[in-house]
Chains A and B, each alone.
Chain A
Amino acid sequence: MAAYLRRRLAWLVPSFLGITLVVFLAVHLAPGDPALRESFDPGAVAPDAAQLELFRSEHLLDRPLLVQYLHFLGPFDLSPRGHRWFGGSGEHAYGGLLALDLGAEFRRPHVRIVDELGRRLCVTAPLALAAALLAWGIAIPLGAWAALRRGSKRERALALGLFTLHSLPGFWLALWLVLAFGAAGLGWLPVLGLHSAGASELGWFDWTIDLVRHSILPVLALALGSLAYLARQVRASMLETLSQEYVLTARSKGLPERVVILRHALRNALLPSITLAALILPALVGGSVIVETIFGIPGMGRYAYEAMLERDYAVIQAVTALSALVTLLALLVADLLYAVADPRIRHG
């Protein structure tokens, strides 16, 4: 077990570096010049060559790809203002991923990427967490109930409902939620953003209520799709567990049904689903572009998408590096849990 763990951890760093390298190459080889980032203006004559050069040299766009990658990686800053060893002026000697300094955005030089990531994570992570808790909180009892009442009419209807829910397109679901609960429908809930105008003047209690009211629809949109899938997973593994001999034994011992279900069957049934739980981590960091666009939430998903559209290399690389790191960790955790459950993989 320890050897397996050591092996996997040892590969984490090279994997991560490999991913950042591939994304870096993809980003830089894409057509589109971040230096020419101006929107059109009828008065625009050709952009000043000197200013283009300035932008390029500041962001190392005129240097070879390897140099740019090493600058991104750090810990030495290789720009004209960087470390003295590499020909810079020494003002800003250290930078890059290894120095935990992701620099500033291309399109907004006054915004530090680390600050912006923090702000956006504070929006995306709580929503994703709430969605995960909601999904799991409903899926486990629902799946267990469905396994126990297997074959009954209600269970069949539920299975059909869950199945349909799972197959619906995410953006369609979100659009219907907006149409149903927004002004054109029932009008109960706000459909935009996470705070009303003037929310900062409310007392903390009202502010929280306002936040909760705004979060209901996005969390629902995020949770409903995965809820259906999880419920079916729980049901499937409950069914498998219930047919095991130890359940039969527990029942024949005369234990109350509740104890049989909760302590014996459910616990074991949930074991394979725990590996799924590890996949919540990437969602916390990735966010959903669709939900964020439809509900106007300034989250991580939109941040990455808008940066891609505008060729903001610094942001794309930073966001991808962060989500790659989290995904790798999640995969590691999932595989570890799987190994705990199945000894053959450990020694394979």
Chain B
Amino acid sequence: MKSPMRLALPLALLFALPQAWKGVDSFHPAHQPDAKGVRPALPKPAYGGRATIHLESLPKSLNYAIDTAGVTRRILFELNETLLTEDWNTLELVPNLCASFESESPSAFVFHLRPGIVWHDGVAFDAHDVVFSALLYRNTKLNTGSKGPNYRRIVEIAAPDPLTVRVKFDKPFFRALVSIGDMPILPAHLYERPGASEDEQAEFIAKNPHNHDWVGLGPYKLERWEGDRIVAKRFDKYFAPERGGYLDELDWLYVKDDAAAFQATLNGEIDLFGRLSTEDYFGSATSSELFQKNLVKAWAPSNSYGFLAWNLRRPKLQDVRLRRALALAFDFEAFKKSCYRGLATQVTGHGVPESEFYDRTLAALPFDPKAAKKLLEEAGWSDHDGDGFLDKDGEALKIEVLSNSGNAVSESMIVALQNDWSRIGVQLTPLLLDFNSAADRAKKREFDGYLTGWALPTESDPEATFHSKNAGPGTSNFPGLADPEIDALIEKLQGELDRGARTKLWFEFQRRLYDLQPYLFGFSPPRKFAYNQKLRGVEFVRPDPNYVARRWYYPAGTPGTREQR
């Protein structure tokens, strides 16, 4: 078996996305560089005004400890704060709620909190809130979903004084600092019931009205949440006023249908729309006069990639030659052109292509249907009965691909896969179901292939998705991968605290994973936005949610704004 070739670096850079998205107002027509490449000055910010942000799904609650949806996290970016935060540009962890932190040992940390931080209801924030938020993951009666295991690694957490938190993990773990830094913090004075049993405490948290009427620490405070609209007003007692918001009000509006949301954006009812399709981005919808006059189109790298997970429990899919052949038979470039107009990156591993832990030099399998057919023949699949389809031992080669309906890109990919594979004699049977049913079947492993995607942070722990101890049904290890080399690499990765050494391990992990092809790795497309031209200070950043609403403003002189906060 050949290993993938390594290409020279310059060629690989062709596959990386251009960097033009970086910078404040980089897409705004009034802020474009002139002939000399110099951008005009940004207008002076004024206070006041409102912006409405589009939501593609409605969060069930605003308590991120029990509701781990991505959309909840994005809203909480403005409504709550965490101990540490990822700097938008350098992606380093910087202190946020804490003034400083140090690590006493590879598995123990001390955080020194800033004084003077208050919750939205006026009560002071202190270390007890942090300790309470960490300990609630120990409550077996509370459904905290997938984050529980991370926080259960905490052996000891204590607050020696109201402004200090000491945390100790069981062993050195490369994500220890990130997990405690990123932990959602709940107001203990609203969620804690001293002296209550585990049951009562869990119920108090799960049925707490503040899951809906959230009280947090962020620059914006939830005013009300009615039906599809979440309204937040600026919180004037925010602990870092120089980093606080300019706009008086932020609204989030849920609109399920993307076409309706786009119409609403054109109409001025939505100020930021984050699900602009590729077709609209490059097509006539955004080159109309109405759009050019009132809106701006922009894009930023998303932190997600799509893939087709193979079910390695099915006997025919256990042969790696079949999986490689199917990858060789799909024309990725043509799909990239037709579906994304070239604005996407083909991924070759489990990671974000812009991250430093991703090996951009690893070349993807080329489009080679002849080689695919040869591999299939080697594996015993050829057209014995002359009906146009490959078969082996009397069984035709049919691949059943599961996916959720309602996603236009998935449907396009299934059609493209069906077409390309039919040309080498492989049948694809699509199974498009609603999200819940699809997830159900995926968990029970009732599929040959499952077309879905991951949204990842800059560096994520691959144990849940690729380690053999999670190979059973019900987990995120959809293929059921159980490879000793992968297991060893994962374990080494987890314990490696040095960034450089860890990068090398990641690169090895990526290469081995691509060789094994447990997934047909797809594309990482950028997120495309359309936003109101009147909003300035709009910067798109790598970390979720890709925009920073608290930095937006209307320029001085816009009616309804004022000089002072």
Contact = CB atoms under 8 A, between A and B. Distances in A.
A and B touch in the complex (CB under 8 A): yes
A230 B283 CA distance: 43
B146 A41 contact: yes
Interface residues of A, number: 51
Interface in B432-448: 434-437, 439-440, 443
A44 B464 contact: yes
A43 B260 contact: no
Interface string B439-481: 1100100000000101110001101110000101011100000
B141 interface: yes
A43 B290 CA distance: 43
B207 A109 contact: yes
B228 A191 contact: no
Contacts of B150: 43
Interface residues of B, number: 68
A40 interface: yes
B147 A43 contact: yes
A179 B147 CA distance: 44
Contacts of A178: 260, 263
Given A36-B440, A183-B266, A42 B465 contact: yes
A209 B148 CA distance: 49
A101 interface: no
A231 to B, nearest CB: 29
Interface in B137-162: 140-150
Contact of B460 (A42, A51, A309): A42
B143 A108 contact: no
B476 A42 contact: yes
Given A38-B145, A46-B474, A197-B251, A184 B435 contact: no
Interface string A31-51: 111001111111111111011
A31 B229 contact: no
B509 to A, nearest CB: 14
Nearest to B350: A42
Given A45-B464, A182-B263, A193-B229, A36 B140 contact: no
Interface string A170-214: 000000001100111001001111011110100000000000000
B233 to A, nearest CB: 11
B143 A55 contact: yes
Contact of B61 (A36, A42, A108, A296): A108
Nearest to B142: A51
B558 interface: no
Residue from A294, A296, A311 with most neighbouring chain B CB atoms (10 Å): A296
B334 interface: no
A40 B455 CA distance: 9
Interface in B246-301: 249, 251, 253-257, 260-261, 263-264, 266-270, 288, 290
Contact of A298 (B212, B228, B263, B452): B228
B52 interface: yes
B209 interface: yes
A32 B437 contact: yes
A191 B260 contact: yes
A39 B455 CA distance: 11
Contact of A310 (B231, B249, B436, B455): B436
A111 B210 CA distance: 11
Interface in A289-316: 293-296, 298, 309-311
Contact of B263 (A33, A184, A310): A184
A53 to B, nearest CB: 10
Nearest to B212: A110
Contacts of B149: 45
A44 B145 contact: yes
A44 B69 CA distance: 12
A220 interface: no
B227 interface: yes
Given A33-B440, A298-B228, A309-B434, A43 B206 contact: no
Contacts of A43: 146-147, 150, 460-461, 464, 476
B228 to A, nearest CB: 5
Given A39-B68, A109-B207, A311 B61 contact: no
A130 interface: no
B318 to A, nearest CB: 23
A46 B475 contact: yes
Interface in B54-92: 60-61, 68-70
Contacts of A48: 140, 143, 148
B211 interface: yes
A197 B50 contact: yes
A36 B443 contact: yes
A296 B267 contact: no
B429 interface: no
A44 B435 contact: no
A193 B460 contact: no
B472 A110 contact: no
A197 B227 CA distance: 13
A154 interface: no
Contacts of B412: none
Nearest to A105: B60
A104 interface: yes
Interface in B209-259: 209, 211-212, 224, 227-229, 231, 249, 251, 253-257
Contacts of A36: 439-440, 443, 474
A55 B143 CA distance: 8
A50 B137 CA distance: 13
Interface in B89-105: none
A311 B434 CA distance: 11
B145 A46 contact: no
B140 A196 contact: no
B269 A197 contact: yes
14 contacts: A38-B145, A42-B455, A43-B460, A43-B476, A46-B470, A46-B474, A51-B141, A54-B141, A54-B143, A110-B61, A110-B209, A196-B269, A197-B231, A197-B269
Which 6 A-B pairs have CB atoms at the shortest separation, nearest pair first? A44-B146, A183-B266, A298-B227, A183-B267, A192-B264, A46-B475
Given A192-B253, A293-B257, 17 more contacts: A31-B437, A32-B436, A33-B440, A36-B443, A39-B70, A42-B456, A43-B461, A48-B140, A48-B143, A51-B141, A109-B206, A110-B208, A179-B263, A200-B231, A296-B255, A296-B264, A309-B436
